[in-house]
Amino acid sequence: MSKESKTKEQLLEEEARLRQRIAELEMLEAEHRIIEDELRQSKRELSIRNEIISIFLTTPDDEMYAKVLRVILKHTESQYGFFGYIDQEGNLVCPSLTRDIWDQCQVPHKNFIFPHEQWGGLWGQSLKEKKTLYSNKPLPVPEGHVPILKTLIVPIIHGTKLIGLLAVANKAEDYTPQDQTMLETIADHIAPVLHARLQRDRQEAERQRSEEKLRESEAKYSALVEQAKDGVVIVQDEVFKFANKAMETLSGYSVEELIGKSCLDIVAPEHRDFVAQRHRLRLQGLPVPASYEIKMLDKNGAKKEVEVSVGLINYQGKPAITAFIRDISERKRMEEELLKIQKLESLGILAGGIAHDFNNLLAVTIGNLSLLELEISGYGDTASELLEAIKTASYQAKRLTQQLLTFARGGAPIRKVVYVSNLLKDAVNFALSGSRVKCELIIPDDLWPAEIDEGQISQAIDNIIINAEQAMPAGGLIRVWAENVTVEPTLSLPLKRGEYVKISIQDQGVGIPEENLPKIFDPYFTTKQKGAGLGLSIAYSIIKKHCGYIGVESELGVGSVFHIYLPATREKISTAPSGGVSEEKFCCGWGKILLMDDQEMIRNMAGQMLTRLGYRVEFASHGEEAIRLFRQAKESKDPFCAVILDLTIPGGMGGKETIQKLREIDPEVRAIASSGYSNDPIMTEYQKYGFKGIVSKPYEIKELSEVLHKVIMGNEGPAQTFG
Ligand SMILES: Nc1ncnc2c1ncn2[C@@H]1O[C@H](COP(=O)(O)OP(=O)(O)OP(=O)(O)O)[C@@H](O)[C@H]1O
Ligand SMILES: [Mg+2]
C-alpha cells in the first residue's frame, strides 16, 4: 500500500499523533520556560545574596544597613523600607530608614530605636509573631508619616531567634507571593551574616567595656597608690618589684633604684632579722601580725620610725608581699613630746611644793637682810661687803626658786612698764659673776620701754646668758645688744605687726648642730652632762606668754645668737628706776596693819619691817583669825588701815576667801595680796578679787613700803568690785 493510498483512519491516527507531539512539545516548552524563570530567579537571588554579603564584608556599620536596604529596595522595586536588628535589650534598632522617608517623614520623634513594648502596627505584629506579613492596601499611619500604600515585612530569624527585620513599601504593583519568597530568601541569607556581625559587635562592645573598666580601675588604683602619702611596695623573693612615688621620699632612693633592691637594705640593721623572719613566716602561710613598727634606713643612712602594714598577694603568678609603709617619726616625736610635758608637769608639782617652802625661807632671809642693812649702816665697809655677798647669794636663790615656781604654776606674767636696760645689766652681772667670759652690752639711749614681768624676763635672759657662757669653756666674749624694731608682716616672724624691743645675745661658742636646732627649746633637751635641759624651754614659755618671740641663729664652731622680741610700749614709766637701798626713799606711814601669814618667821620679819616704817602691826596665822581681829578692830573704833594677806595657808582659810569676808565687813578694806607665786592668777588680776595691791615674796622693806603707801594713799587706780 502506497503513501497516497493511506486510509482515512491512518491519516486521522497520524494527525492525532502529531497533535500529541505538539502538545508534548508545548509542555516541554512551558517546562523549559519555568526552569528558565527559576534559573533567572535563582541567579537573581544569587546576585542579591552576593551583593549583600559583599556589603556585609566590606562596609562599616554606619553605612552597611543603608547599603543593604538600597539593594533590597532595588530588587523588590519598592519606594521605602527599613532594615533593623534586635539589640541586647530586645529593642528594634534601625540604623537605616530610607533617606526619602527620613526627609519626608514629619513625625516628631524619628527614633532609630523602637523599644520592644512600643512595637505596633503590621511590622510590630510581624516581629512579635516572627512571621512574614504583607498588605496591598494603604495602612493607617501617624500624622505626617509618609503614606504606606502597600507593604511587605519579613522578620530575620537565626535558628529560632528573632534578630532583625526587613520592611519594604509602596511597590508600583501589588506585592506577590514571589516578592514574599524573594524577601524571605534574602532574609535567610542575611540571617547568618547579620548574626555573626551582631555577635562580633557585641563581643567587641563587651571587650571595650571590660577594657574601659580595667583602664578605669587601673587608673583609680594607680592614682590611689601614686598619690598615697604612705610608701607602697610589692616584694617578691625579698626584692622590690614595685614601689610608688612616696617611697622615694621615704627611702631617699628613686623608684628605679628600688626595683630589684633587697627589701632588707632599707631596714635598720637592728630590725633586719625580725623583718626577714616575719617575711618567711608570712610566705609559709603562718599567722603573723599584719602590721608592725620598725626603724627604716634611708639612702643617707638616717633612721626613720615607720609602721608597716603587710599583706600576701599573688604577683605575676607567684606569691608576693604588699606593704604599706607609713612614716611615724612625727607621731613618735609627738608622743615623746607629750611624755616630756607630762614629766614636766609632774616635775612642776614637785618643784612647786619644794620651791614654795623654800621661797618662804628666802622671804625671811631677804626681808631680814634688808632690815639688817639699815641696822648696820655705819659699821664699816667689811660689814657692808659681807652683807652684800649674802644678799647676792640670796638673790641667786630667789631667782632659782622663781624659776621653779614659774614652772610649777606657769601663770601669766605680771607686767610693768620698764626699760630692759637695767634688767639686762643685772642679768649679765648675775649670770657672769665669777666667770672668765667677758660681756659687751650695747643699749641705745632711745630704747623703747617694754611691758614685761621683770622677774620672768630676767629669768629667761639669765638662762640664755648662762648657756652662752657654758658654750665658751675657754672663755670669750658675749655681746648683748638691744634695739627698737617695727615688725611688719613681711618680716615673716610669728609676731603681730607692731613695735618691739629686740634683744640679741651672741656668743663665740661651739655653736648648735643643725639637727639640734629644732630641739633646743624642748623641755629636757640637753647635750650637757649636768644639764637639765630646762633653761631654754623656760625662756621660751616665758617669752611666749609675753606675746613675744625667741629665735636662734647658729654656726658650728663660730657661735650662736639668740634674738628675743618683746612688745614695746610708748607709755611713760611710772615707777622710779631701781637704785640702792636708802631710808629716804621709803614711804613711811602710820596706823595699824593686819598681817596674815602662816609662817611665824615671815610674820616676825614683816612685823619688824612694818614697825620700822612707822606702822603698828597685828598678826594672824590664818583667815579665821584675821577676820576676827579685823571685826574686833572695826568695832573698837581702831580699824586697820590696811591688811596684808598671804594667799596660800596650808590647812586654813587663805587670802582669796578671807578678802571676801573682810569686804563683807568693810567694803572699803585696803587689802594687799602676798604670795611666792608671782604668776598666780590672783596676783595677776588682784583687783578682780578685791585686792588693792600685791607684794611678791620674797620682798624687801622698800617694796613693802611702796605698796603700803600706794594702797593707803589710795592711788592704786580704780578699784574693781569683786564678783
Ligand atoms: N649658746 C649656745 N651654744 C651652744 N649650744 C647651746 C646654746 N644654748 C643652748 N644650747 C644647746 O641647747 C641645749 C638646751 O639648752 P637648755 O638651756 O634648755 O638646757 P641645758 O643648758 O642643757 O640645761 P639647763 O639650762 O637646764 O641647765 C643645750 O644642752 C645645748 O646643747
Ligand atoms: Mg641652759
Alpha helix ranges (H) inside 141-176: none
| Partner residues linked to 305 by β-bridges | 295
Q: Which listed ligand is nearest to 518 at the C-alpha?
A: 1
Peptide bond into 698 cis (omega under 30): yes
- Is residue 572 very low, low, confident or very high in pLDDT (cuts 50, 70, 90)? low
Residue to mutate (ligand 1; options 399, 439, 526; most atoms within 8 A of CB): 526
In angstroms, what is the span from residue 144 Cα to ligand 2's centroid? 99
H or E stretch covering 563: strand 559-567
With cut-offs at 50, 70 and 90, classify the pLDDT of residue 286: confident
Ligand 1 touching residue 473 (CB < 6 A): no
**Residue 646 cell numbers, joined:** 598671804
Helix (H) or strand (E) segment spanning residue 96: strand 92-97
Please state, in angstroms and rounded to a whole number, the distance separating the CA atoms of residues 352 and 556: 37
- With 0-12 / 13-18 / 19 or more C-beta atoms within 10 angstroms meaning exposed / middle / buried, residue 314 is exposed
Query: What confidence score (pLDDT) does residue 3 get?
Result: 53
Q: What gap in Å lies between CA 690 and CA 720, rounded to an integer?
A: 7
Q: How far is CA 560 from the centre of its chain?
A: 35
For residue 159, the CA-to-ligand 1 centroid distance in Å is: 94
Would the pLDDT of 353 be above 80? no
- Which is more confident, 31 or 143? 31
DSSP code per residue over 212-241: HHHHHHHHHHHHHHHH-SSEEEEEETTEEE
SS3 456: helix
- Give the pLDDT of residue 407: 63
Residue 85 or 494, more confident = 85
534 lines ligand 1 (CB under 6 A): yes
DSSP letters, 610-635, are HHHHT-EEEEESSHHHHHHHHHHHHH
Record the cell numbers describing residue 395, joined without a space: 638673790
Q: Which pLDDT tens digit goes with each residue over 29-38?
A: 999 998 988 8
15 or 99, which is more confident: 15
Q: Is the pLDDT of residue 110 over 70?
A: no
Reported as a single tens digit per residue, the pLDDT across 260-276 is: 999 999 999 999 999 99
Would you state the pLDDT for residue 721?
Answer: 28
pLDDT band at 576, cuts 50/70/90? very low
d(C-alpha 70, C-alpha 192), whole Å:
20
Q: Looking at residues 546-556, what average pLDDT do you find?
A: 91
pLDDT higher than 70, residue 532: yes
**Which residues lie near ion ligand 2 (Cβ < 5 Å)?**
467, 535
C-beta of residue 232 within 8 angstroms of C-beta of residue 261? no
Query: Do 269 and 292 form a contact (C-beta atoms < 8 A)?
Result: no
The per-residue pLDDT for 722 is 27
- Pairwise CA distance, residues 166 & 29, whole Å: 36
pLDDT over threshold 50, residue 717: no
Which of residues 11 and 679 earns the better pLDDT score? 11
Domains, the chain, in order of start with CATH, read: 54-203 (3.30.450.40), 228-327 (3.30.450.20), 420-572 (3.30.565.10), 586-713 (3.40.50.2300)
The percent of residues above 90 in pLDDT, for the chain, comes to: 43
- At position 102, the amino acid (one-letter code) is W
pLDDT for residue 325: 95
Within 10 angstroms of residue 269's Cβ, the number of other Cβ atoms is 10
Instruction: Give the Cα separation of 506 and 477 in Å (integer).
Output: 8
pLDDT at 468 over 90: yes
Confidence tier at 716 by pLDDT (50, 70, 90): very low
pLDDT, position 231: 94
Q: What is the mean predicted confidence (pLDDT) over 235-249?
A: 93
Q: Does the CB atom of residue 532 touch ligand 1 within 6 A?
A: yes
Distance 236 CA to ligand 2 centre (A): 52
SS percent in the chain: helix, strand, coil, step 5: 50, 20, 30
Mean pLDDT of 306-329: 92
Least confident segment among 89-103, 239-253, 472-486: 89-103
Lowest mean pLDDT among 281-295, 389-403, 411-425, 570-584: 570-584
Predicted pLDDT at 345: 66
340 within ligand 1 shell (Cβ under 6 A): no
Task: Judge if the beta carbon of residue 476 lies within 6 A of ligand 1.
Answer: no
**By alpha-carbon position, which residue is closest to atom 7 of ligand 1?**
467
For ligand 1, what atom is nearest to the CA of residue 531?
23
Q: Are 488 and 525 in contact (CB under 8 A)?
A: no
CB 564 within 8 A of CB 543: yes
Looking at the chain, the number of H-run helices and the number of E-run strands are 18, 23
Q: Give the chain's mean pLDDT.
A: 85
d(CA 618, CA 601): 14
Q: How confident is the model at residue 103 (pLDDT cuts 50, 70, 90)?
A: low
Average pLDDT in the 66-76 region? 88
